[in-house]
Amino acid sequence: MKKTVLFTAALFAVTAVSAQTGEITSNRGENWLSQDGDWGLTFEATPLLNYAGNLFNGNAGNGGVALGSLFSTAGAAGINGNQVVIGGKKLIDANTAYRGRVRLGFGSNKETAKVDDVASTDPEVLVDDVTKNGFMGIDLGFGLEKRVGSTRVVGVYGAMLNVGFGSSKTT
């Protein structure tokens, strides 16, 4: 019994001492955790994932987008459009980072429908009814990110302020 208790105590002591090594590094000596001065770029992947997912089905009008309209502000119905956001992060120390994001959205669409000519006395005369929609949106954001933890799993919390401007025109 004495040997088991001593072995367990020695194993616990070795584990506790080896856990106090400081910074976590790779075999080449590179730090795995974020350091002050590190930076990163981000983007919203939802439109690309929607496009890739819709390549494998034959349904039309299921919320997918064409690659040419990834940066549009409005979706197919003119609302709730794609959100391609480009952002960045700059660490000012190992536990604090400034975050920023920008989104420039724009687009237009044109719909043409054949309708009866109300000025004509002949009911079979059709004219083109053309509707043009143009839209633009700008979103800017700035935030602060804090990190908690000293191991490979780090908790992240913070706050971000976003401001958006937009306009649309229908003719």
Q: What is the pLDDT of residues 112-165, one digit of tens each?
A: 998 888 777 777 888 888 999 988 888 999 999 999 987 778 899 999 999 998
pLDDT at 12: 67
Range of the domain at 129: 29-170
- Kind plus residue range of the DSSP H or E element containing 8: helix 2-18
Percent residues over pLDDT 90 in the chain:
23
Domains in the chain, number: 1
Could you tell me if residue 166 is inside a domain? yes
Quick check: helix, strand or coil at residue 50? helix
In a domain, 92, yes or no: yes
Please, what is the average pLDDT of the chain? 78
- Please identify which residue in the block is written with the tokens 């106090």: 20
pLDDT above 90: residue 9: no
23 found inside a domain: no
25, 36, 102, 140 from 147: Cα distances, Å: 18, 12, 23, 23
In the predicted structure, residue 78 carries a pLDDT above the cut 60: no
Which pairing describes strands 86-93 and 126-148: parallel, antiparallel, or unpaired? unpaired
Query: Is 22 part of any domain?
Result: no
